[in-house]
Structures are given as structure tokens and as C-alpha cells.
């Protein structure tokens, strides 16, 4: 079988913009404080009636349009998310129904900020072994509903949005060259959403009062160092696997975690920041959705052209990290 390639991309960002100046109105913070530490100026916030599947639906429709496909043609849907509409059924099931993808099998993948690369890996394997002929891979998050809006160390970071790609076998030399994924469960508590699972069941006034249902970051400085290390290692692994050098890569599409992390990664890889696609200033950290959103933007604004080598990389809670090298 030939390579599996991305034949369509799409993304969606909610209309509401929440700026750093808006946060100044109720937090002990400032635009300068946030920007110098994170690189973020603003983020998007889903409307009250919008769930994760609603954001994903628009991104998927745009990806399908780019691929020249109808929802009825889709055979597999994989949704990467840590903020599904419901824990049961899966977020992908809601998405399948809203798209009208009546012939698709759908499932969720949970790998925090590396979720899109994990979902891409799962979908590629299904297609390579011939179980399905095409796949719709989406990543969608409503992170703003997981936050303690009194905690300035965490609530300033996150935003909402969705991205998606369509995968098919390609006949030329384009396509996914390799995907590499890793986990370290022993250090998963550095980024934690403790409430809502079996450990805190049933949900109670006490668990809510203790804010167990909001996102918590432990040892942020240590997480910074680990993220830089894993981002860099993931890139180097993809290049070594394919016998290529970083100079061969046209653009790096990283998870938009923190501008300082991306700058440190670029320094370790010895590449100029011009080679690293960055949109965190406008959107913040959207967990699993940042990579496909940035990928779609880079395709549509002409940064990525036919034949370019594109390197995707991410690091997130779990701990999870990974990369994918793609010939466009």
C-alpha cells in the first residue's frame, strides 16, 4: 500500500475573543505580565450553546470541503479531546451524528495536548492495514470550561477551538513519512483534571468546593524544562528515522503551549523562529486542537506548499509527546 496523506484541512475558532485586557478586569494581572511569560495576547471562548462537537463539526466540514468529500463517504472518525460533550457517549459519536456521517465508525482518543498526533497515528494504522479507506481526524477542545477563573497561573493560558484533517492513500511521494508517540504515566499528575472520574465519584459539593473539577498545573517550572526536552527529542526522532536533517524541513508546526517553550525548542534544534509556525498570540493554548488549527492556517496562508517537508510536534499531560514528519 502507498503512503497515507492529508488531503484536506479545516479549522474553526469561536467568535468571542477574550483579551488580556479583559482578564485585567477581574484578575490581579496585566497584558504585559501575561504576554512576557506566555506569548499570549488573546484567546477564543465558545458560546454557551456550543459544545466540543459543535466546534469540531465546522472544522470537519471545512476539511471535507477541501478534500472534495461528503460526510456520507467518511468511514472512520477519530476525535482527540479532553473536553468531550459527555463522557458517554463519546464526543466523536456526537460529532458523527451532527455531521451526518452515517457510514462512519467513530471514537475518541485522549492524550491531552498531544492528542491530535495520537489520533493521527491511530487513523493511519487503520488505513494502512486496509480496514478503512479514509478517515476524518479532528481535535476539538472547550478548555475554558475546565478553568478556575480566580487562578491567574492557569486561566490565562487556555482557549477553545477545533481543527481537522482528512486522510486517504496518496499515489505520489507525498504523505505521512512517520509518526512517533510516547507516554510517561509516572509523571502524569503535573497537568491534572482530578474531578469527574471514578476516583472522585460521585461528584459532590465537597469535590466542587475543592475545585477538583478544574485544571491544575503542578511544578510549572519543571514542566517547562521537560516540555522543551521532549519537544526537541520528538523532532530529532522523526528526522533520524527518515535520515533527514532539520535543514530539510520547511516548517515546524508545534503544539502552541507557550512562546518561551517554542523559542527554547528552536534554539536547541538550531533553527530560526521563522521556521516555527506560531499563532499562540491570537488563540492561546487549545490543547489537542492547536496543531491541526496551525496546520490548517499554514496551508491556507501559503506557508506550506506542495512538496514541502512539514514537522508536527507536541507535548502534553499524561505525560505524552510525539511527532510526525509529512511530505506535503
Distances (CA, A) of 34 to 19, 22, 54, 262: 10, 12, 29, 16
Catalytic status, residue 113: yes
**Residue 272's Cα: distance from chain center in Å?**
23
CA angle (222 as vertex; 206, 146 as ends), nearest 5: 35
Query: One of 20, 93, 113, 134 is an active-site residue; which one?
Result: 113
Identify the residue whose cell numbers are 482528512: 166
Query: One of 20, 93, 180, 255 is an active-site residue; which one?
Result: 255
Distances (CA, A) of 99 to 9, 15, 74, 194, 209: 16, 21, 10, 32, 37
Residue of 92, 9, 7, 89 lying closest to 295 (CA atoms) = 9
Residue of 117, 115, 126 lying closest to 74 (CA atoms) = 126
Sheet holding 76-80, edge to edge: 4-12, 160-169, 134-142, 76-80, 105-109
**In contact, 17 and 104? CB cutoff 8 Å:** no
Catalytic status, residue 103: no
**Residue 8's Cα: distance from chain center in Å?**
17
Residue 73 Ramachandran class (φ > 0 left, ψ -120 to 50 alpha, else beta): alpha
Phi, psi of 87 (to 5 degrees): -75, -25
Catalytic residues: 113, 255, 285
Amino acid at each position: 500500500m502507498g503512503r497515507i496523506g492529508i488531503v484536506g484541512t479545516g479549522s474553526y475558532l469561536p467568535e468571542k475573543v477574550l483579551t488580556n485586557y479583559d482578564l485585567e478586569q477581574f484578575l490581579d494581572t496585566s497584558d504585559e505580565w501575561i504576554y512576557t511569560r506566555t506569548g499570549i495576547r488573546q484567546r477564543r471562548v465558545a458560546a454557551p450553546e456550543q459544545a466540543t462537537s459543535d466546534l469540531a463539526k465546522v472544522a470537519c466540514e471545512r476539511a471535507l470541503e477541501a478534500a472534495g468529500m461528503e460526510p456520507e463517504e467518511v468511514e472512520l472518525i477519530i476525535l482527540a479531546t479532553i473536553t468531550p460533550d459527555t463522557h458517554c457517549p463519546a464526543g466523536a459519536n456526537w460529532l458523527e451524528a451532527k455531521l451526518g456521517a452515517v457510514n462512519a465508525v467513530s471514537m475518541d482518543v485522549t492524550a491531552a495536548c498531544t492528542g491530535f498526533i495520537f489520533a493521527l497515528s491511530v487513523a493511519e494504522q487503520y488505513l494502512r492495514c486496509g480496514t478503512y479507506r479514509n478517515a476524518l481526524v479532528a481535535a476539538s477542545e472547550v478548555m475554558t470550561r475546565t478553568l478556575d477563573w480566580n487562578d491567574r497561573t492557569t486561566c490565562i493560558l487556555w482557549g477553545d477551538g477545533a481543527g481537522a484533517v482528512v486522510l486517504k492513500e496518496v499515489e505520489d511521494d507525498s504523505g505521512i513519512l512517520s509518526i512517533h508517540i510516547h507516554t510517561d504515566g509516572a509523571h502524569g499528575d503535573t497537568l491534572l483534571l482530578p474531578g469527574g472520574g471514578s476516583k472522585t465519584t460521585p461528584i459532590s459539593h465537597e469535590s466542587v468546593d475543592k475545585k477538583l473539577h478544574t485544571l491544575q498545573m503542578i511544578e510549572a517550572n519543571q514542566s517547562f524544562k521537560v516540555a522543551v526536552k521532549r519537544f526537541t527529542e520528538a523532532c530529532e526522532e522523526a528526522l533520524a528515522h527518515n535520515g533527514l536533517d532539520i535543514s530539510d524541513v520547511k516548517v515546524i508546526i508545534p503544539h502552541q503551549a507557550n512562546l518561551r517553550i517554542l523559542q527554547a525548542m528552536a534554539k536547541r534544534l538550531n533553527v530560526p523562529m521563522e521556521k516555527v509556525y506560531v499563532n499562540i498570540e491570537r488563540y492561546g493554548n487549545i490543547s489537542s486542537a492547536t496543531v491541526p488549527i496551525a496546520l490548517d492556517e499554514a496551508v491556507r496562508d501559503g506557508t506550506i506548499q506542495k512538496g514541502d517537508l512539514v514537522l508536527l510536534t507536541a507535548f502534553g499531560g499524561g505525560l505524552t509527546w510525539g511527532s510526525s514528519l509529512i511530505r506535503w
